Amino acid sequence: MSHQTLEFKTEVKELLHLMIHSLYSHKEIFLRELISNASDAIDKARYHSLTDNSILDGDGDWKIKLTVDKENHSITVSDNGIGMNEEEIIKALGTIAHSGTKDFIKTLTEKQLKDNPELIGQFGVGFYSSFMVAERVVVISRKAGDPKEKAIRWESKADGAFTVESFEKDSRGTDVILFLNEENREYLDEWQIRSIVTKYSDYIEHPICMDVTKDKKTEEEILNSRKAIWLKDKSEITKEEYTDFYKHVSHDFGDPARVIHFKAEGTSEFSALLFIPKKAPFDLFYKEFKIGPILFVKRVQIMDHCEELLPVYLRFVKGVVESSDLPLNVSREILQNNRQVDVIKKNITKKVLDALAEMKNSEPEAYVEFYREFSRPIKEGIYVDQQRKEQLKDLLLFESTKTEPGKHASLKEYAERMKADQECIYYMTGESREEMEKSPYLEAFKEKDLEVLFLTDEIDEFIAPDLEYANKKAKSVTRGDVDLDKKEDKKEAEKKYKKVIDLLKDELKDDIKDIRVSGRLKDSPCCLVADEGDMDPNMERIMKMMGQTAPVGKRILEINPAHPLIESLNAVFEKDKSNPVLKEHAHLLYEQALLLEGSKLKDPAGFTKRISSLMAEHLNKA
């Protein structure tokens, strides 16, 4: 093969540009990323060698080697892992496979990054982080099973392009050679390298070796302790060690919100060290978000994300699970139908939910912080996990008509505050608390001192019907009929207004489903409500946002029997039911109600005309 020069994909160019100009203060993570890639490559080779021994070619001594060349200012990370062929190297080191990272780069402006350089560490910067410290990077790789002449040499100065050419390499695997730029030559120092390896890669299962000179003799030393912290006893681990390990597995900087560390014995034997992060990663809601803990079987890393071990809604949980029951050559298919895996999953799901419940009770402030970041996945759980729905519901927090803005109530607290004769748990969905607080739908509830929960998340619409608690059904204040007053009063009002209601119905039949006397209004003359099973405007808004066509349902117009406007309308009707003013006012009434629910008028020009003529009349009398 001849020498080829190829362009990086646009998003790689953007990423490299960000990398090179980054003021990120943890540039040393480049080494962690390269070691982690080397370790993954070895895991892959080892896994394949279980079924195809020939790829070993006599070398099953898995190892990552760091080599420093002070003269050429280079540091090399070598592995005897799976390696890459030409096609693979062009794809792996010329594009970005993860669309979450792609989108993140697009939305991230240079200014944002300048103000907050730590953002860089939030996504899997991977191989490209080399360019934070190197002006030139060379990768030489030979795929396991390929002959030595089929090796490939890749090189780039991050100037928009890279080259690939054939090469000869004696052994399987990959060498990544970084020619450090002048400002970053500190990384050639042996002690620097040692400290970075201990800080970020100590637990890596494969030996990370380096030649060191002691008493004029050069010998190879293993830099990482390879200690499996998750197998140690809790009492032997310091908080700092937990935090360091958390940083390994999460790429996060701060401390975790919670550490969950336990050993299960009995029918299923496994150890788990799991973390609940403080901050949600930017790509939590992307399809390709990698779910699940690292899976080890008998000290061997099998998978860096084992999604079979946690329900999708707990995807924010990071950590490691090590089983001694599973086979070493466990495949995805085995994982998907394995009783042991089910037992582990059930167990760790319970531990995570228990830890959250415990945190909610013992550290309410920390829990609110957690909830701010992760309420959505928890709510997803309520939607999908019938079995644990009740437990998940206890983790919910809502603002309500009885909480200060920014403060929350749980369903339990709500239930405890309920009036003795209260029939339902009341909630309202909408875009914001402020908006909902002003709405007419709450009038009667406020007057009766009934607490209403404010549901402002989009996903709330989907879980609201599930908020049944303490044997009380959940009910939307904007849907269906509400009967807070004595039933007889309402019946009487219905009788009194029957005829005028019929007239209004006839006039507005194209726009509304029904008209009735309201049980929820005190100060406003009228409002629109959705029928019990229908979508309300908030739901319609959300469906539209999700790109779904929402069938716009007709609403029910409710009138307030105690409002002077309704009284006057009735009085005019009683006097002369053919008075044209009645029809005109029917439309005005409906249009007001539309505005109140936050919807658009169908005929703004007609509305303005009607209002103007009313104003003129009023002014004439003034």
Residue 87 burial by CB count (10 A; 0-12/13-18/19+): exposed, middle or buried? exposed
Written as one letter, the residue type at 206 is H
Backbone phi, then psi, for 93, in 5-degree steps?
Answer: -110, 30
Sketch the per residue contact string, 226 through 265, with ligand ADP: x for CB under 6 A, - otherwise. Answer: ----------------------------------------
- Whole-angstrom distance, CA of residue 393 vs CA of residue 577: 53
Alpha-carbon gap, residue 555 to 131, rounded angstroms: 60
Please name the amino acid found at residue 198.
T
Shortest gap between Cβ of 290 and ligand ADP (angstroms)? Answer: 9
| C-beta closer to ligand ADP: residue 146 or 591 | 146
Nearest residue to ligand ADP, scored by beta-carbon proximity: 126
Shortest distance (Å) from residue 78 CB to ligand ADP = 9
Backbone Cα Rg of the chain = 33
Provide CB contacts within 8 A for 457, sequence distance 6+: 375, 376, 379
Pick the closer one to ligand ADP by CB: 290 or 513: 290
Contacting range for ligand ADP; rule: CB under 6 A; set: 1-9, 126-134, 208-216, 240-248: 126-134
Number of residues that bind ligand ADP (CB under 6 A): 16
Task: Output 251 or 475, the one with its CB closest to ligand ADP.
Answer: 251
Shortest distance in whole angstroms from residue 440 CB to ligand ADP: 53
**Which amino acid makes up residue 375?**
S
Q: How far is the CB of 113 from ligand ADP (least distance, A)?
A: 19
- Quick one: which H or E segment has residue 228? none
Nearest distance from C-beta of residue 36 to ligand ADP, angstroms: 7
CB of 33 to ligand ADP, least distance (A): 6
Least distance (Å) between residue 445 CB and ligand ADP: 52
Rounded to whole angstroms, what are the CA distances from 495 to 274, 499, 507, 560, 565?
64, 8, 20, 14, 18
Residue number, 161 or 368, with CB nearest to ligand ADP: 161
Nearer to ligand ADP, 22 or 37 (CB): 37
Cα–Cα distance between 300 and 204 in angstroms, integer? 10
The minimum distance between CB 163 and ligand ADP, in angstroms, equals: 17
- How many CB atoms within 10 Å of residue 544? 12
Task: Kindly tell me which of 52 and 532 has the beta carbon lying closer to ligand ADP.
Answer: 52
Q: Where are the beta strands (DSSP E) in 478-542?
A: 512-517, 526-529
For the segment 490-509, give every residue that binds ligand ADP (CB under 6 A): none
Q: Are 136 and 119 in contact (CB under 8 A)?
A: no
The residue range among 77-85, 288-296, 465-473, 600-608 that interacts with ligand ADP, by the rule CB under 6 A, is 77-85
Binder of ligand ADP out of 100, 121, 126, 319 (CB under 6 A) = 126
Question: Of the two residues 82 and 317, which places its CB atom closer to ligand ADP in the complex?
Answer: 82
Q: Which stretch binds ligand ADP (CB under 6 A): 122-130, 145-153, 217-225, 402-410?
A: 122-130
Q: What is the DSSP string of 552-602?
A: ---EEEEE-TTSHHHHHHHHHHHH-TT-THHHHHHHHHHHHHHHHTTPPPS
Q: Does 319 bind ligand ADP (CB under 6 A)?
A: no
Determine the 3-state secondary structure of 217 from DSSP. Answer: strand
Strand-by-strand arrangement of the 424-429 sheet: 399-400, 452-455, 424-429, 473-476
Task: Tokens for 523, please give them.
Answer: 């100060």
CB-wise, 175 or 451, nearer to ligand ADP?
A: 175
CB of 142 to ligand ADP, least distance (A): 10
Token code pair at residue 55: 């790829």
In the window 28-67, what residues touch ligand ADP (CB under 6 A)? 33, 37-38, 41
* Strand, helix or coil for residue 474: strand
- Binds ligand ADP by CB under 6 A, chosen from 79, 252, 451, 536: 79
Q: How far is the CB of 201 from ligand ADP (least distance, A)?
A: 14
Q: State in angstroms the smallest separation of the CB of 174 from ligand ADP.
A: 4
The Cα–Cα gap between 360 and 371 comes to: 9
Give min distance, CB of 93 to ligand ADP, in A. 6
Distance CA 327, CA 319 (A): 20
Q: Which residue in the block uniquely carries the two structure tokens 């993860």? A: 98
Only one of the segments 52-60, 76-84, 247-255, 485-493 lies at the binding site for ligand ADP (rule: CB under 6 A); that segment is 76-84
Q: Report the nearest approach of ligand ADP to the CB of residue 175 (Å).
A: 9
Q: To the nearest whole angstrom, how small is the minimum distance from the Cβ of residue 210 to ligand ADP?
A: 17
* 3-state SS record for 395-456: CCCEEECCCCCCCCECHHHHHHHCCCCCCEEEEEECCCHHHHHCCHHHHHHHHCCCCEEEEC
30, 74, 81, 360: which one binds ligand ADP (CB under 6 A): 81
Residue closer to ligand ADP, measured from CB, 84 or 295? 84
Where are the extended beta strands (E) located within 250-308? 258-264, 270-276, 294-297, 300-303
CB of 388 to ligand ADP, least distance (A): 32
Q: Which stretch binds ligand ADP (CB under 6 A): 79-87, 147-155, 184-192, 396-404?
A: 79-87
Distance CA 619, CA 337 (A): 79
Give the bridge partners for 399, in sequence order.
454
- 144 interacts with ligand ADP by CB under 6 A: no
Residues 82-121 interacting with ligand ADP (rule: CB under 6 A): 82-84, 92-93
Among 100, 121, 124, 377, binds ligand ADP (CB under 6 A): 124
Q: If binding is defined by CB under 6 A, does position 174 make contact with ligand ADP?
A: yes
Q: Which is nearer to ligand ADP, 79 or 399 (CB)?
A: 79
Binding site for ligand ADP (CB under 6 A): 33, 37-38, 41, 79, 81-84, 92-93, 124, 126-128, 174
